[in-house]
Structure 1
Amino acid sequence: MNLSSMLAARAAEGKPVRVGLIGAGKFGSMILSQARHIDGFHVVGVADLDLTKAQASLTRVHWEQERFAAPTFSDAFDTGTTCLTDNAADLLEFDGIEVVIEATGHPTAGIRHALAAIDAGKHVVMVNVEADVLAGAILAERARKAGVVYSMAYGDQPAAMCELVDWVRACGFELVAAGKGMNFCPNYRYSTPDTVWDFFDFTEEQVNSGDFNPKMYNSFTDGTKAAIEMAAVANATGMDCPHDGLAFPPAGLQDLAEVFKPRTEGGQLEKNGIVDIAASREPDGRVVLNNIQYGMFVTFRAPNAYTRDCFNQYGLMTDKSGWYGSMWRPFHLIGLETAISVLSAALRREPTGTSRLYRADAVATAKGDFAAGDMLDGEGGHKVWAKAIPASRAVAENALPIGLAHHVKLKRAVRRDQIVSLDDVEIVDDLDIHALRKEQERLLST
C-alpha cells in the first residue's frame, strides 16, 4: 500500500518510471488514459503496427498532439514526451525504458516481444493473456534468471484472482476455488464474429467507434477468453482446471460458497483447488440474481470451529454449514489499473501474479464438423473455441493450443466439440514457439 509514495520519491529525484507500451488498442488506450495523470509515470514510447490508429487512440484519450510528437526515444526521454513507432524492436532496444507493457493480444508476437524485453533487461507486464497461457511459465522462468520481473497485468481479472488467492493462503484459510463472473449460456459457445453483437447491448455508434473488435468480443462470448484466463490463473497459483473444461455453473453472490465447493460436500466442484466461472445466466437465458458478471471470487474453508464461528459473527457469506465462505471483488477496471503492475515491477520488483508452473492449458476445440483442408481462424473466430484443461491432459493428447490455432489448415476432419490435436493440422510456421512450448513441458505439474 505504498506504491504512490515510492513513486513520489522517485519522481522527486528526477527518476520517473519509464515505460514502453506495445499495442495501442482498447487495453492500451485505457493505460494511456491514466498515464498522463500519474506523476512520475513516463510513457517514453508507444509501438503499434498502425501509427494512424495509435495517434487516434492517444487523441481519443485526451493527449495533446505535442505530447506524442517526439521524433526519437532519446528525445522523448529527455523531454518527458512520447515517441510513436511502428517497430516494436526499436522500442525494446532503447535503454531508457525500464518496463515494457505487452498489449497486442497477439500470442506469438507477445511471446517474442517478452523474450526480447527480458533479454534487454526490462521488466514485462504481460497484458496479453493469450501469450501468457501459451508460454507464461517458461517466460517467467527466463525473467527470473535474468533478474527481471514478468507479471500479469493488474486490472485484468487473472491478476485480481491471484491477489484473492494470495489473500486466502496468507490468512491461513483452506483454498477451495477461484474464479470470475461471466455472461454465459451454453448456446453462446457457438457464437461467431457475425453473430456476436446479438449478445451485447451496444449501439451501432459504439460498435463503429473503433474500440470494438468483433473477434475479441466473440472470444469473451464463446467462453474462449474465460478458458485462457482461468488456465493462466491455474499456472500462476498452482490450482487446477476441471478435467473436462470449465463447467460455468450459474451462481449469484449468495450462492458462491454453496456452489463452488466439492461435490462430496454438496457443491459442484470435482475436487478442492479448482478454477471455474460463475455464469451470470441460467441455461435458459434468465439472468442470475445478484450475479457477479464483472467480478472475481474465491471460496475457502475454515480450518477449525472457532474460525467458522468468526465467519458467522462478521457477516461473511457462507454455505449452509458455515464452514465454507466466499470473498469477492465486484469490479475490475482493466487498463485503468495496470499502472499498479508497472509500479510494482519497477519499485518493488514484484509481479502482480506470474506463471510459475505449466499446470493448465487452453486448447482449440471445434465449433462444428469441419473437413480436411478447412482453415481454422483462431480465438474468437468461426471454427474453434478454447477449452481449459489440465496441462497433463493437453500434453497426453498432443492438443493444439488456442494461441496457435489461427490460420492453420486441417489435415483431417474434426467433429463438433472435439479437441483439435497438433496431428490434425499442418504446422508451417511459428516453429520457434512450438520449440518453446516443448521446453515448457519440463515445468509440467501434475
Structure 2
Amino acid sequence: MLGLNRKLAELHRNGGYIRVGLIGAGQMGRGMISQIEAMLGMRVVITADLFTDNIKKAYTKAGVDPSQIKETNDRDIAEKAIAAGYVVATSDAEMVPHLDQVDVIVDATGITNIGAKIAWNAIVNKKHIVMLNVETDVTVGPLLKKMAEAAGVVYTGSAGDEPGAIMELYDFADAIGFEIVALGKGKNNPLNVHANPDTAAEEAKQKGASPKMLASFQDGTKTMVEMTAVANATGFVPDVQGMHGIKATVQELPGLLKLKQDGGILNRKRVVEYVNGVAPGVFAIISSDKKEVHEELKYLKMGDGPNYVLFRPFHLTSLETPLSIAKAYFHKEATIAPYAGLVAETVSVAKKTLKPGDVLDGIGCFTAYGRIMTAEDQRKTGALPLGLIGPNIRLKREVAQDQLITFDDIEIVESNMILRLREMMMEQLLASGASR
C-alpha cells in the first residue's frame, strides 16, 4: 500500500477523485463512508441500501451537508447529481454499476446472492469491484476473477478484512524468500457451532450488532469462510477439516504450528489455521533453510527458531477498504483474490436435525454452519457449499445434527444468480479436467 497517499494527494491537487459506488449501508458501509470523507482523492458518490434513511444518516455523520445529498432511483438524475458534486442515496442497487460517474464498486452487503449480482454487473460494466462479501468470493470467486481479467478490471477482496491482512503478510514473506509454514487469524469468541440469532440476541443488543451477524461469528462460519478465501488465494489448505482451532498466545504459535514429527500439531506445511487467544490479530509462521537467516532472526529477537511468527495485531475492516479501492484504481492490482483457484471450500453442516421440507435459511441463522475442507474433500463428499444456502433450497431427506449437508440431501426450489454462477464455474472446471 506504500505511496497510495501520494497518489491520492496528487489526484486531489489535479481536481480529481476516485468515484466510489457503495452497496450496503450497514456497519461496514457506514464506517467506510466516514473514513473516505476524511481522505483526499476519493469519495463515495453514491450509496445503495434498501433503507435510504440509513444512507442519509451515514453521509450526515460523515460531515456531508444534508443539502448535498440527493435521493433518487433515476439513473439520469443520479449521473447529473454526481457530476454536480452531490452524493446520491438510492434503494436501487442495480443502477449503481451502470453509472458513468462511478469508477469502483464496493459490495458491503454480506449476502451471497446479492454479492454475486453486484460483482457480475460491475464486471460487465467494466468497473473495478471490491468485495467485503467474502461469502460470495469463496463460492464463485474464481469465476468472477477470470471474468474481471477478461474485462480488463480488478476483482479484489478488501484490505482490513482478515483475509486481506493475512495476504499482506503472505506477500511480504513470500517476496523475500521465506518458507511459509502456516497462515492464520485469531478468533475472539468461544466456538459454539449451534449459535443462532436467538442465542446471540442479548450480546448483539449490548454490542449494537445484528444477531444474525454475531451468530455467524460465534458458530465459526465467518472464520471458516475467511480462511477459505486465504486458501484459494495462496494454495494453502486446512490441515484437518474445520482446522485445529488451538488455544495459544502469539509466542506459542511457532512451537505449535510445525510438523508433528518436530513436536508440533501439523500433518503438513502450507496450511491455514485459526487460533483462540490472538484476536484480533493475523499471523504467518515462517522459516528458512539458510543458517545466516536464522542467526539474523535470532539477533532481531524473533525467537529461537526454527519457526518464527509474523504477527499483525489489528485489522481495521472497512476503514482500510479505501486502500484496496485506490490500489485497484491506480495500480490495477488486487489486495487478495483467488489466484490459486478452488483449493478449499466452506461447506454446510446441520445446526440441528433437519427434516424433509426444512428450508436452509441462511448464514448465521438456524439451520446450518460452515466448515472448511479441501476442495478435493468437497468433491468426494458432495457437500453443499455454504454460500449457496438460502430460502430457495430445502431438504428432501433428514440430516442429523452436525452432519454434512450434501447436494443429494437438498432440492433447489428456484435458481438464482449465485447458483447459476456456481454451475458455470463448475462446468469450466469439469471442462479443464476437474470434477465436482
The TM tier, using the shorter chain, reads over 0.9
Separation in structure 1 between the aligned mates of residue 86 and residue 323 of structure 2, nearest angstrom? 21
Q: Which residue of 193, 217, 220 maps to 1:220?
A: 217
Separation in structure 1 between the aligned mates of residue 303 and residue 48 of structure 2, nearest angstrom? 45
Q: Which residue of 409, 418, 422 maps to 1:433?
A: 418
| 1:293 has 2:276 as partner | no
Q: Which residue of 76, 79, 84 maps to 1:74?
A: 79
Q: Which amino acid aligns with 1:300?
A: I
After superposition, residues 130-141 of structure 1 pair within 5 angstroms as 130-141=135-146
Report which stretch shifted further, 215-224 or 256-265.
256-265
Q: Which amino acid aligns with 1:417?
A: D
After superposition, residues 301-320 of structure 1 pair within 5 angstroms as 301-318=287-304
| 1:259 has 2:256 as partner | yes
Could you say which residue in structure 2 is the equivalent of 1:271?
A: 268
1:44 touches 1:73 (CA, 8 Å); kept in 2? no
Considering only aligned residues, what root-mean-square deviation do their CA atoms show, in Å? 1.9
Separation in structure 2 between the aligned mates of residue 173 and residue 77 of structure 1, nearest angstrom? 47
Using the size of structure 2 for normalisation, the TM-score is 0.93
**1:220, distance to aligned residue in structure 2 (A):** 0.6
Q: Which amino acid aligns with 1:339?
A: P
Q: Which residue of 334, 355, 367 maps to 1:383?
A: 367
Cα pair distance change 1:317/1:47, threshold 3 Å: farther
Separation in structure 2 between the aligned mates of residue 243 and residue 429 of structure 1, nearest angstrom? 34
2:117 touches 2:417 (CA, 8 Å); kept in 1? no
Cα pair distance change 1:372/1:36, threshold 3 Å: same
Separation in structure 2 between the aligned mates of residue 241 and residue 125 of structure 1, nearest angstrom? 25
Separation in structure 2 between the aligned mates of residue 312 and residue 104 of structure 1, nearest angstrom? 45
After superposition, residues 313-332 of structure 1 pair within 5 angstroms as 313-318=299-304, 322-332=305-315
| 1:410 has 2:395 as partner | yes
1:226 counterpart SS class:
helix
Aligned length: 424
After superposition, give the CA deviation of every residue in 1:134-153 in whole Å (9 maximum; x if it has no partner).
11111011101111001111
After superposition, residues 348-427 of structure 1 pair within 5 angstroms as 348-356=331-339, 357-407=341-391, 408-427=393-412
Separation in structure 2 between the aligned mates of residue 36 and residue 323 of structure 1, nearest angstrom? 46
Q: Structure 1 unaligned runs (5+)?
A: 281-291
**1:70, distance to aligned residue in structure 2 (A):** 6.2
Report which stretch shifted further, 376-385 or 332-341.
376-385
Q: Which amino acid aligns with 1:195?
A: T
Percent identical across equivalent pairs?
Answer: 34
**1:32, distance to aligned residue in structure 2 (A):** 0.4
Q: Structure 2 unaligned runs (5+)?
A: none
2:381 touches 2:406 (CA, 8 Å); kept in 1? yes
Separation in structure 1 between the aligned mates of residue 389 and residue 150 of structure 2, nearest angstrom? 30
Using the size of structure 1 for normalisation, the TM-score is 0.91
Separation in structure 1 between the aligned mates of residue 292 and residue 63 of structure 2, nearest angstrom? 54
1:176 touches 1:273 (CA, 8 Å); kept in 2? yes
Q: Which residue of 222, 226, 241 maps to 1:244?
A: 241
Could you say which residue in structure 1 is the equivalent of 2:122?
A: 117
| 1:190 has 2:191 as partner | no
Separation in structure 1 between the aligned mates of residue 280 and residue 201 of structure 2, nearest angstrom? 18
After superposition, give the CA deviation of every residue in 1:233-289 in whole Å (9 maximum; x if it has no partner).
111111112342222111111111112222222112221011010112xxxxxxxxx
Report which stretch shifted further, 72-81 or 337-346.
72-81
Q: Which amino acid aligns with 1:392?
A: E
Q: Which residue of 59, 71, 91 maps to 2:96?
A: 91
Could you say which residue in structure 1 is the equivalent of 2:59?
A: 58
Could you say which residue in structure 1 is the equivalent of 2:19?
A: 18
Separation in structure 1 between the aligned mates of residue 239 and residue 389 of structure 2, nearest angstrom? 22
1:406 counterpart SS class:
coil
Cα pair distance change 1:306/1:333, threshold 3 Å: same
**1:62, distance to aligned residue in structure 2 (A):** 4.2
